[in-house]
Structure 1
Amino acid sequence: MSLDARRAGETLILIGSLVYASSKIWEDTNFRSPHFNSQQYNLWVLTELHLLAGAAVLYILWLSNSLISSKPIHSPASNIETAAPGLASKRPSSPRAPETRDANFKKNAPLLLRRKPDFGFVWMSVPRNYRESSDDGILTGLLFGPLVSSALLYSSLILPLSASPLPSSWRIEAPRLLSNAKGSYSVVEALILSRYNLVDLSNLCSTILLFHVCSSWWYESRYRASGSTLDNERKSVPRSAGKRLSYFMLFALSTTVGMLSIKFALLEFSLGIWQHLSWFEIIVASLFYQCTLYGTVRLAHRGFTLGELGIVGFGGTALFMEFLNVTAARIWPLTTPYIKTYRLPTPLLIFQTALIAGSFLTGFALSPFLILSRNIGQRPVRRMRYPELKLRQRRFLAFGFYVGSFVMTMGLIGMWTYWCLGKRNPWLWVVLYILEGRKKWSRPALLIYWAALGSLSVAGWNRQLARSRRFRAWNNAGENLIVPGSSGASSGPPLVDSNSTAPQSSGNSSDTQTGVGSGSALGLTFPNLPNLSNLPNLPNGVATDLLDAADKHVPTLRLNARRKFFHALTVVMFVPGIAFDPAFTHLSFSVAFALFTFAEYVRYFAIYPFGAAIHLFMNEFLDQKDSGTAILSHFYLLTGCAGSLWLEGSSPLLLFTGILVLGVGDALASIIGKRVGKHRWSPTTNKTLEGSFAFTLSVVISAWLLRLLGLTESFSTLRYTAVIGLSSILEALSDQNDNVTLPLFSFSLLVLVGTS
């Protein structure tokens, strides 16, 4: 058996955390309720979590053993044609795979061929669908959902029966309750039963994911020849997209039938596993989760690892089940004694569902406008029969998208929100809610504060990046000192516009490297376009000699520092909101997520007239983790900061978890590690001990500073430091996107250990 130290450490942390969560539920909770036996429920929760942890261990052991027993593939760079005939001479059949991918793969082939044999895949997906990483993150996808669910269950089980789970600092309406012939549950009882259901749902999703991976392994082994195969080619997956989709749908239906069979067998043997999931929930959750996995990996091409995909799929499924349960409670209120939502059924949950789920629903409903806009943007003018009509067509499609979004928001989404709020106008509710703060001016002041900081930051960066492109000085490593990271192949998705000569997915042209693409062809005016040396004969009526001289002294930041600037910005922006009005900040985060989603529609599908401008700005902040068609870094950062609020942490200190971990700890760990770090955690990672120490120390000091300012309760420094230290080790060992994993992991452990 062989397992490198980095992955072994990550495995021990994740599995140990899940086992610890199950032991805390079993040993430290004994909720007394006249309606259900919590101790009996806890026994089966313990069994479920231990079975899942055992299955994860067996999978890792089997994988490690099979790799060491199989013949390793070693292919030198000079023998790429031998290992993969036609790789250097043939262009990939998928239009989403740019030509530079071949060159990059050829360059790194020996490394990739050694890494990829242990990667798992969703059924009918191939390696090129996933983000490049050192491992697939299978344990992250399997264990993070159950870990967070267990922490939420534990936090509700330790509450007294008559207590209000809504913190006193949350100024929002009381949670809605149902009472009918089927019974009457208190707020705490309803929340506990809902979270038992959440634990079962997370185990169901993890079981499905593991079934997909194992089935893919088995099916591929039947097609695998005795010789070596390229890691980006799987012989069991047909090249036809139609066949892949049909095979996937058949497999998804078969998997759902298999989950129902398992449920039936558990009932026959009187086993309480999945006892909180109904037959209908198993069918809906199984189909939705699998479609989310496949749809996400296909649409957000190269945007996720398998582990990140598992987290996103489970989060989307949980939100969808909440939407169904809220809707069912409104349509058939007599069928259930409580509303099965995993957070408290307050207007915050209704608005979040409307905003986040509604933004994705709008994208699917208006997909014809989006797809046509992108296709026209990709089409070269010289190939068009009537090139003068191109701009008119793009304007028409943009008008259709904007009008359609308005109709969807005011119509279907607005009516659903109106209905769930008890036939109250949602727009009027929001206006009145803004004016109902601690003082009438407090929430408007927060909105102005956020808008001012965001606008100044974006405008300042846009100014600096646009004007500094005139003075491109290159160091010996070939990195642009004014706009770092723009050398070589671009790290970001392409700008789709009228001058493109072929569909692009990663921006490998020189125009995209400089961040301008062909914005002028879109009919847009940007402050940087007149100043770019690669666009000759453009008039420069804005720049003056004084400004030109000042441009030479524009302060420069490397790509890492520029990205971490936004981490620090989250601290400045959101600490006041979380400290003084967490409920309003909860709602504002949901609004921001919906706006980000629409901005990504506009950017990727080149919606006139803002698509190019958004792309130009976003392209300057991308690293290797944003190599896919979608730009996800800002979604990850927002979700990580908002996660502790959306999960409704029970104490002020918990609410600051995402802000402190990402805005302070992760930013300083990256900067300190790159500048002074010398001792690596393992040969397969560039994370250093110095960076992890800076992570832990900075977060603990920041938490103490908040305590001294009276913004959090008193806490155990030892336990808090232990949790943050373990989180820093996970950040160093894991290759998954830490903007998602770290806040969830830290929040869960802080809930379980109890910091008070």
Structure 2
Amino acid sequence: MDSRRAGESFVLLASLLFGTQKIEQFDTWMAYELYALLLAAAVYLGYTYGTVTDRGALTPKPAPIPPTALQQTKRRSDDKFGFIWMSVPKNYRDSTDDGILTALLLGPLIATALLLCSLDPYPGDGLPAGWAIESPIRLPARNTRAPPPAIALLRGRYNLLSLATFTSAILLLHVCSSRWLENRHVAAGEPTPSSTEAERRSVPRSEGVRGLYFIFFTLGSAASFFLVRIALGLVGIGIWQHLNLFDVIVVAIFYQFTLYVALRMAHRGLTLGELGLVCFGGTAIFMEFLNITIARIWPVTTAYLKTYRLPTPLVVFQTALVAGPFLTGFLIAPMLVLSRHAAQTPVRRQRRLLPSEALRARRRLAFAAAFVALVIIFGPLGLWTRWCLGNRDPWIWVVCWVISRHRRVALLAYWAALGSISVAGWTRQLARSRRMPGPVDAASSTNALFAASNEFLDRAPTLRLNERRKFFHALVVFMFLPGIAFDPAFTHLAFSAAFAAFVFAEYIRYFAIYPLGAAVHRFMNEFLDTKDSGTAILSHFYLLTGCAGALWLEGQVLPTWLLQYTGVLVLGIGDALASIVGKRHGRHVWSPTTTKTLEGSAAFAASVLACAWLLRLLGVVEPFSTVRYVSVIILASVLEALSDQNDNLTLPLYTWSALVIMRVS
């Protein structure tokens, strides 16, 4: 194991170990779950990277290849990489590290931080300080067993932590089973696939056969975990006792389903670490949706409303806005696929179709997809949201809630103006750099705001890729800092709506929906780097999730504001300055296997600390422990430098969790 991987592993293992010791003060069996996970992760690392168990001699020596091809092959075919069952290297994003510890430990670390938040005594209904939102949904009064919302939330977060360790166990089973099967094929002397194929000996080439094997493995592992859970309960072992048998079977099947779907829909877009974290989040949201639905169907017999955040309307809307677009895409998939096929097929190959007829066919497909999507949104999704809101119309509820405060209307206008200026300005910049066909005439713009921004940016130099990407990091600071400061609850809902808009925009781009598909694709293509080499463009999703994570988690029930700014400070300021300073002034790299520099990490830590103290001096956040805050930010800067995972996703979540566990505020 090289120094970079060793440093990243130490940060993640030590952080979760410290959180586990905090949990042990309240629940011994829950701590044992985490200790078992830490031990399993350490054993896996020792087995994988230990020299005694190095099985490199079993691998036939490949033919000599050029140095440039050698680097790419090493990135995608490292025999120490872990794989999901029936997956191959070409399914994953190119990286120097599979991110196995991120997949195994970051989810439990987040759940640990959430549980520690709820274990702190706090009077009232548990709403975060300063959040202008309705009180949490309660079960009917005739359900005499139902506890208060704060107690129900505590039980729900115990359930979440068990869910996190359970999904990590499933992922580890996949990786170990996949490695065991591959080693058997290697020992049998089967030929090594060529480096350009990025295949594995143990995985069939047929996608249908792979899918069938994956289904068998999913059902078998789900049944095995079901029996293990029963056995643990019978012998009095408290591991996973916060998961009932229904939870075990549903989570085991759904989590593995999301692993399979995400790996194929975002082909070459995710590492193993990012895949595990994304699927854990998706499973948690699905379980919240399922538990809310069950509580609405059987309100009297339900023991408590099992959610991982307070069941306010914000959670209901987020479930609809995050899960709804994926459900919509699944239902309109045939029309989306036909639209992409029509866009990729030249007119001369479309039989019996003139160019005008082919264009009309694309228009009809776009109209049909939009119509069915609207039916789904206003039909099942809208009706479910209305049902959960107590038979209140969700659209009217949102309008009334927004106009109930003038600052919300002002924030909407501010975001619209800033977004319009940014899009118009970048359209002009890209046209000037001749990366998009045809110049844009500012004088012809019908919007004075667009024209003014175009005229201003005509005088500015064009930017390189890294500067273009970091511009959006700076943009999130100007957009979201006022929202978090003035109305965090409204910003929570706005983040969810933005996520839904991003999903539909990605549908339009990838499936070339007429008439916007090509324009969206050209615009997004100008901001891609090596981490966006897959079929789906995910960087903007990660940036949004990283900034919104501190609000979406709703962990800080104590009167603290500092933690709510974590994502914006870490990504909008720290990560952006670390990249710019490191590329321009960096001289000392952390490791021979990374380009990250000590100068960039120092800029990250110093800028985040300076901004946090500026917020403190302005009275925006409460007093906090500078020593503890600096300690966490230094750990975050080290993780940013050493990890090859997408730091827009992992870094804010890690930093927020570490700040909670360290009790900075």
- Residue 383 of structure 2 aligns to a residue whose secondary structure is helix
1:287-306 equivalences under 5 Å are 287-306=253-272
1:73, CA displacement in angstroms? 6.4
Q: Is the 8 A contact 2:110 2:657 kept in 1?
A: yes
1:239 aligns with 2:205: yes
1:168, CA displacement in angstroms? 3.3
Partner amino acid, structure 1, of 2:98 = D
1:155-554 equivalences under 5 Å are 155-160=117-122, 162-178=123-139, 179-181=141-143, 183-224=145-186, 225-226=188-189, 228-230=192-194, 232-385=198-351, 386-388=353-355, 389-437=357-405, 441-469=406-434, 514=435, 527=439, 554=460
1:105, CA displacement in angstroms? 8.0
- Residue 322 of structure 2 aligns to a residue whose secondary structure is helix
- Supply the distance in 2 between the matched residues of 1:612 and 1:216 (Cα, whole angstroms): 39
- Over the matched positions of the two proteins, sequence identity in percent amounts to 57
1:142 aligns with 2:110: no
Partner amino acid, structure 2, of 1:432 = C
Q: Is the 8 A contact 1:680 1:688 kept in 2?
A: yes
- Supply the distance in 1 between the matched residues of 2:485 and 2:425 (Cα, whole angstroms): 27
The verdict on how the C-alpha distance between 1:553 and 1:189 changes in structure 2, with shifts beyond 3 A counting, is closer
- Supply the distance in 2 between the matched residues of 1:583 and 1:552 (Cα, whole angstroms): 38
1:632, CA displacement in angstroms? 0.5
1:70, CA displacement in angstroms? 2.8
1:455, CA displacement in angstroms? 1.1
The verdict on how the C-alpha distance between 1:329 and 1:105 changes in structure 2, with shifts beyond 3 A counting, is farther
Partner amino acid, structure 2, of 1:142 = L
Aligned residue number for residue 605 of structure 1 = 511
1:697-716 equivalences under 5 Å are 697-716=606-625
Partner amino acid, structure 2, of 1:669 = A
1:583 aligns with 2:489: yes
- Residue 422 of structure 1 aligns to a residue whose secondary structure is coil
1:215, CA displacement in angstroms? 0.5
- Supply the distance in 1 between the matched residues of 2:31 and 2:230 (Cα, whole angstroms): 20
Partner amino acid, structure 2, of 1:175 = P
1:739 aligns with 2:648: yes
- Supply the distance in 1 between the matched residues of 2:573 and 2:632 (Cα, whole angstroms): 16
Structure 2 gaps of 5+ residues are: 442-453
Match of 2:49 among 64, 67, 78: 64
The verdict on how the C-alpha distance between 1:551 and 1:583 changes in structure 2, with shifts beyond 3 A counting, is closer
The verdict on how the C-alpha distance between 1:105 and 1:77 changes in structure 2, with shifts beyond 3 A counting, is farther
Match of 1:622 among 524, 528, 537: 528
Match of 2:549 among 643, 665, 690: 643
CA-to-aligned-CA distance 1:529-577 (integer Å, 9 cap, x gap): 9xxxxxxxxxxxxxxxxxx999996502111111000000000000000
1:23, CA displacement in angstroms? 0.8
Q: Is the 8 A contact 1:696 1:728 kept in 2?
A: yes
- Residue 592 of structure 2 aligns to a residue whose secondary structure is coil
1:163, CA displacement in angstroms? 3.5
- Supply the distance in 1 between the matched residues of 2:471 and 2:143 (Cα, whole angstroms): 56
- Supply the distance in 1 between the matched residues of 2:529 and 2:541 (Cα, whole angstroms): 14
1:623-702 equivalences under 5 Å are 623-650=529-556, 651-702=560-611
1:107, CA displacement in angstroms? 5.9
The verdict on how the C-alpha distance between 1:268 and 1:581 changes in structure 2, with shifts beyond 3 A counting, is same
- Which shifted more, 143-152 or 232-241? 232-241
Q: Is the 8 A contact 2:192 2:201 kept in 1?
A: no
- Supply the distance in 2 between the matched residues of 1:741 and 1:691 (Cα, whole angstroms): 18
- Supply the distance in 2 between the matched residues of 1:60 and 1:697 (Cα, whole angstroms): 33
- Supply the distance in 2 between the matched residues of 1:442 and 1:754 (Cα, whole angstroms): 31
1:230, CA displacement in angstroms? 4.1
Kindly report the root-mean-square deviation, in angstroms, between the aligned alpha carbons of the 2 structures. 2.1
TM-score, length of structure 2 as denominator length = 0.93
1:515, CA displacement in angstroms? 5.4
Aligned residue number for residue 751 of structure 1 = 660
The verdict on how the C-alpha distance between 1:229 and 1:76 changes in structure 2, with shifts beyond 3 A counting, is closer
CA-to-aligned-CA distance 1:711-751 (integer Å, 9 cap, x gap): 11111111111101100000101000001111110000111
- Supply the distance in 2 between the matched residues of 1:432 and 1:261 (Cα, whole angstroms): 50
Q: Is the 8 A contact 2:402 2:408 kept in 1?
A: yes
Match of 1:126 among 85, 88, 92: 88
Structure having the larger proportion of residues in helix: 2
- Residue 368 of structure 1 aligns to a residue whose secondary structure is helix
Q: Is the 8 A contact 1:75 1:110 kept in 2?
A: no
1:50 aligns with 2:15: no
1:264, CA displacement in angstroms? 1.4
Q: Hey, which bits of structure 1, 4+ residues long, moved more than 6 A? A: 72-77, 548-553
1:465, CA displacement in angstroms? 0.6
- Supply the distance in 2 between the matched residues of 1:450 and 1:404 (Cα, whole angstroms): 29
- Supply the distance in 2 between the matched residues of 1:52 and 1:551 (Cα, whole angstroms): 53
- Which shifted more, 388-397 or 587-596? 388-397
Q: Is the 8 A contact 1:350 1:420 kept in 2?
A: yes
1:236, CA displacement in angstroms? 1.4
The verdict on how the C-alpha distance between 1:229 and 1:10 changes in structure 2, with shifts beyond 3 A counting, is same
Structure 1 gaps of 5+ residues are: 28-38, 81-103, 470-513, 517-525, 530-547
Aligned residue number for residue 94 of structure 1 = none
1:679, CA displacement in angstroms? 0.8
The verdict on how the C-alpha distance between 1:221 and 1:387 changes in structure 2, with shifts beyond 3 A counting, is farther
1:336, CA displacement in angstroms? 1.8
1:164, CA displacement in angstroms? 3.3
- Residue 375 of structure 2 aligns to a residue whose secondary structure is helix
Aligned residue number for residue 499 of structure 2 = 593
Match of 1:573 among 479, 491, 494: 479
Q: Is the 8 A contact 1:14 1:143 kept in 2?
A: yes
- Supply the distance in 1 between the matched residues of 2:391 and 2:169 (Cα, whole angstroms): 40
Aligned residue number for residue 536 of structure 1 = none
- Residue 108 of structure 2 aligns to a residue whose secondary structure is helix
Partner amino acid, structure 2, of 1:61 = G
Partner amino acid, structure 2, of 1:20 = F
Aligned residue-pair number: 642
Q: Is the 8 A contact 2:430 2:436 kept in 1?
A: no
- Supply the distance in 1 between the matched residues of 2:28 and 2:302 (Cα, whole angstroms): 25
